[in-house]
């Protein structure tokens, strides 16, 4: 198993800064040659990690994250400020180099698709590929040793992601397993627009991922008695949850609608899944705001047990089983939505 101490995000920034300034690694990553200006660190008061002027005269900005652990306020404030900056400065090139947790959570066009930001995302494969091509002979021997050690570290980390059974770091191992489950789902749902985002429950700081889940995107939307409702699945540590998005409405109407759709879902899905108990979900109804609530829970193989598997074949088999459950759940939504749309809602 791969047991090694991870480089902190700060130390990775320092190493990458050294390489970006003294080699053409950053240009290789972006595919945009430098103009006359050199690489600048933390431009715009740290809004981005690096910037330089491209040969086309346009600025190139690189956002770098190697973790999602930290102050959620700081992280989301920064993203909002970046979005504002990008919309004010559309004539520039934007990239995001994402490693570790950030590679899972912010990758796969998440920023562009969900936040509508034109950021091209980079990760392990691109960094390692261009890293391997660097000529380090001009660096002092101690610097060469540090750079080569970092390269080997990145290689091992990426190998662990590709084969989670090798990872000792439980947080990264859990992320990697979720990533493999999502890959299996994508193979089975290649003809549909449904995707699954790997997301941490907002503002979780623990080193454990008890609240990490995969969330279906986009939801299925339906109309019922003039209200637009969305249905979607979430995979969490306690199982697979069918959730509903409710628009702003009075408390009595929300409770009536939730109760009715929950009964329809239980009746329809019980033929295919083992349904579990769910907690109360309609606390603190607010007439003026939309809300997301649980409808029901489906029993799936315990994610905790999956992460404890010691052999690659065991992880692969369990991942495929969970993936198949999620695929079947998604495929049942259109028929459930049709049932809900056509059946009358009892008077409130």
Per residue in 238-277, pLDDT tens?
788 999 988 888 888 888 888 888 888 988 888 888 888 7
Which contacts (CB < 8 Å, 24+ apart) does range 199-204 have? 199/105, 200/68, 200/101, 200/105, 201/236, 202/72, 203/72
Q: Which residue has the tokens 């980079």?
A: 122
pLDDT of residue 148: 93
Both tokens assigned to 177: 């397993």
Are residues 188 and 142 part of one domain?
Answer: no
Q: What mean pLDDT value characterizes the chain?
A: 82
Show Cβ contacts of residue 14 under 8 Å, excluding neighbours closer than 6 positions.
Answer: none
What pLDDT score was predicted for residue 242?
93
Q: Tell which wins on pLDDT, 345 or 55.
A: 55
Q: Quick one: 129 and 257 in the same domain? A: no
Counting the structural domains of the chain, the total is: 2
The sign one gets for the Cα dihedral 236, 237, 242, 248 is: negative
User: How large a percentage of the chain has pLDDT more than 70?
Assistant: 83
Q: Where a domain ends, among 112, 134, 162?
A: 162
Instruction: Flag whether 348 is in a domain.
Output: no
Distance CA 110, CA 217 (A): 11
The Cα–Cα gap between 13 and 49 comes to: 8
Q: Does 123 score more than 60 pLDDT?
A: yes
Residues 216 and 69 in one domain: no
Residue 62 and residue 97 in contact, taking contact as beta carbons nearer than 8 Å: yes
Contact 17, 50 (CB under 8 A): yes
pLDDT for position 246: 86
Query: Which of 162, 190, 220 is a domain's end point?
Result: 162
255 and 202 together in one domain: yes
Q: Same structural domain for residues 60 and 184?
A: no
Residue 49 pLDDT exceeds 70: yes
List the 93-98 sheet strands across, edge first: 40-41, 50-53, 59-65, 93-98, 120-122
Instruction: Kindly state whether residues 210 and 118 are assigned to the same domain.
Output: no
Tell me the percentage of the chain whose pLDDT exceeds 90: 25
pLDDT value at residue 170: 80
Do 144 and 28 share a structural domain? yes
Residue 212 pLDDT grade (very low, low, confident, very high; cuts 50, 70, 90):
low
Average pLDDT of the residues in 298-307: 71
Q: Which residues contact 341 (CB under 8 A, 6 or more apart)?
A: 222, 223, 224
CA distances from 138 to 127, 142, 251, 252, 305 (A): 20, 12, 69, 72, 49
Q: Give me the pLDDT at residue 147, please.
A: 93
In CATH, what number is assigned to the domain containing residue 50?
Answer: 3.40.1350
258 and 176 co-located in one domain: yes
pLDDT for the residue numbered 286: 66
Examine residue 4 and state whether it is found in any structural domain, yes or no. no
In a domain, 153, yes or no: yes
Give me the pLDDT at residue 274, please: 84
pLDDT at 285 over 60: yes
pLDDT at residue number 205:
44
The reply to whether 115 and 202 lie within a common domain is no
**Is residue 297 pLDDT above 70, yes or no?**
yes
pLDDT score recorded for residue 91? 92
Q: Does residue 255 share a domain with residue 119?
A: no
Position 238 in a domain? yes
pLDDT of residue 284: 60
Let me know if residue 102 belongs to a domain: yes
Whether 347 is in a domain gets the answer no
Question: Could you list the residue range(s) of the whole structural domain that residue 214 is in?
Answer: 170-342
Dump pLDDT digits (tens) for 57-99. 999 999 998 876 554 455 667 777 888 898 899 999 999 999 9
Q: Is the domain of 213 the same as that of 150?
A: no
pLDDT score for 253: 84
Based on the domain organization, do 238 and 124 belong to the same domain?
A: no
For residue 152, the number of C-alpha atoms closer than 13 Å in the C-beta half-sphere is 9
pLDDT band at 127 (very low <50, low <70, confident <90, very high): very high
Tell me the two tokens of residue 245: 């998005």
Model's pTM, two decimal places?
0.83
Q: What are phi and psi of 53, to 5 degrees?
A: -95, 125
Return the pLDDT at 291: 81
Q: So what's the pLDDT on residue 299?
A: 81
- Residue 2 inside a domain? The answer is no
Sequence length of the chain is 348
- pLDDT value at position 211? 61
Contact 326, 318 (CB under 8 A): no
What is the pLDDT confidence band of residue 206, given thresholds at 50, 70 and 90? very low
**Which of 30-44, 164-178, 199-213 holds the top average pLDDT?**
30-44
Residue 107 confidence (pLDDT): 67
Give me the pLDDT at residue 17, please.
Answer: 93
Query: HEC string of the chain?
Result: CECCCCCCHHHHHHHHHHHHHHCCHHHHHHCCCECCCCCEECHHHHCCCEEEEECCCCEEEEEEECCCCCCHHHHHHHHHHHHHHHHHCCCCEEEEEECHHHHHHCCCCHHHHHHCCCCEEECHHHHHHHHCCCCCCCCCHHHHHHHHHHHHHHHHHHHHHHCHHHECCHHHHHHHHHHHHHHHHHHHCCCCCCEEEEEECCCCCCCCCCCEEEEEECCEEEEECCEEEEEEEEEECCEEEEEEEECCCCHHHHHHHHHHHHHHHHHHHCCCCCEECCCCCCCCCCCCCCEEEEEEEECCCCHHHHHHCCCHHHHHHHHHHHHHHHHHHHHHHHHHHHHHHHCCCCCC
In a domain, 1, yes or no: no
Taking the C-alpha atoms of residue 248 and residue 252, their distance in angstroms, rounded to an integer, is 12
Domain limit, last residue, from 162, 181, 202: 162
């Amino acid at each position: 198993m791969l047991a090694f101490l991870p480089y902190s995000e700060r130390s990775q920034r320092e190493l990458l800064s050294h390489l970006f300034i003294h080699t053409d690694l950053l240009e290789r990553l972006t595919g945009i040659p430098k103009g006359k200006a050199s690489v600048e660190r933390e431009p715009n008061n740290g809004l981005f990690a690096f910037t330089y002027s491209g040969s086309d005269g346009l600025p190139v900005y690189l956002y770098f994250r190697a973790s999602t652990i930290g102050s959620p306020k700081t992280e989301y404030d920064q993203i909002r400020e970046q979005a504002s900056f990008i919309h004010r400065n559309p004539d520039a090139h934007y990239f995001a180099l994402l490693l570790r947790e950030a590679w899972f959570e912010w990758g796969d066009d998440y920023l562009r698709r969900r936040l509508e930001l034109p950021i091209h995302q980079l990760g392990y494969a691109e960094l390692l590929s261009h890293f391997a091509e660097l000529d380090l002979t001009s660096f002092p021997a101690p610097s060469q040793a540090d750079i080569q050690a970092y390269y080997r570290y990145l290689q091992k980390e990426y190998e662990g992601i590709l084969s989670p059974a090798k990872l000792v770091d439980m947080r990264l191992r859990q992320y990697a397993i979720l990533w493999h489950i999502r890959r299996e789902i994508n193979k089975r749902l290649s003809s549909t627009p449904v995707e699954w985002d790997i997301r941490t429950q907002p503002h979780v700081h623990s080193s454990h991922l008890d609240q990490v889940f995969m969330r279906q995107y986009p939801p299925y939307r339906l109309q019922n008695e003039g209200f637009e409702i969305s249905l979607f699945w979430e995979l969490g540590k306690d199982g697979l949850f069918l959730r509903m998005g409710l628009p702003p409405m009075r408390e009595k109407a929300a409770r009536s609608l939730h109760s009715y759709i929950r009964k329809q879902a239980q009746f329809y899905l019980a033929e295919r899944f083992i349904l579990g108990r769910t907690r109360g979900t309609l606390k603190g109804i607010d007439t003026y705001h939309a809300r997301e609530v649980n409808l029901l829970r489906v029993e799936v193989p315990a994610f905790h047990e999956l992460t404890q598997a010691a052999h690659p074949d065991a992880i692969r088999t369990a991942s495929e089983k969970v993936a198949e459950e999620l695929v079947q759940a998604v495929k049942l939504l259109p028929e459930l939505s049709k049932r809900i749309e056509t059946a009358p809602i009892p008077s409130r």
